């Protein structure tokens, strides 16, 4: 009886482990893949405009990060961390854009309060961009998983990181931007 109970507990723990792993594992774009170009309604400092990835790549690398929902705990933490690091990214010629399934009205507020008017956030209400970047939640594909990309000016992905935890997204993407900058002369 005791062996059956232990076996059942272990089987349950393994199942939970696989389920938790599947929440962070996905078929995201990998380094070397071409980043799909997109335009989207975005807000920076409460002002709405049309964001173009192609236009931003003309200026330098782009840190594109996807997040599940504005004003949730993890997404707020992540927005604060990106806001604090924006000036550091700029030193290396990089810009930051966040993308979620939220509507533009919500993101206009989020861009001021949580992004601290430091970088834009784009609305992907139809989840088109989320889908093109394979950045959807495994169990709810229209909602973004927490995925960060660094895209070089040539349009290729040079770094990808997926974790539901907001920790490490800024640290890892900033490291990738610095490594890219070290091998590419800035004008």
Separation CA 168–CA 162 (nearest Å)? 10
Separation CA 34–CA 101 (nearest Å)? 22
Beta 95-100 vs 157-162: how paired, if at all?
A: unpaired
Neighbours of 118 (CB within 10 A): 19
Active site residue ranges: 75
Neighbours of 164 (CB within 10 A): 14
Cα 14 → chain centroid: 28
């Amino acid at each position: 009886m005791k062996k059956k109970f232990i076996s059942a507990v272990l089987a349950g723990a393994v199942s939970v482990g696989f389920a938790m792993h599947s929440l962070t594992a996905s078929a995201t774009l990998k380094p070397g893949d071409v980043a799909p170009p997109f335009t989207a309604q975005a807000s920076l400092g409460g002002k709405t405009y049309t964001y173009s990835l192609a236009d931003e790549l003309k200026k330098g690398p782009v840190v594109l990060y996807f997040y599940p929902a504005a004003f949730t705990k993890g997404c707020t933490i992540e927005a604060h961390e990106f806001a604090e690091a924006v000036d550091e990214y700029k030193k290396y010629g990089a810009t930051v854009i966040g993308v979620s399934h939220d509507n533009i009205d919500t993101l206009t507020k989020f861009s001021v309060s949580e992004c601290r008017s430091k970088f834009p956030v784009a609305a992907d209400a139809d989840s088109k961009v989320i889908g093109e970047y394979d950045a959807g939640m495994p169990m709810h594909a229209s909602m973004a998983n927490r995925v960060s990309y660094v895209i070089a000016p040539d349009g290729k992905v040079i770094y990808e990181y997926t974790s539901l935890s907001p920790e490490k997204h800024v640290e890892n993407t900033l490291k990738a931007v610095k490594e890219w900058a070290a091998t590419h002369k800035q004008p």
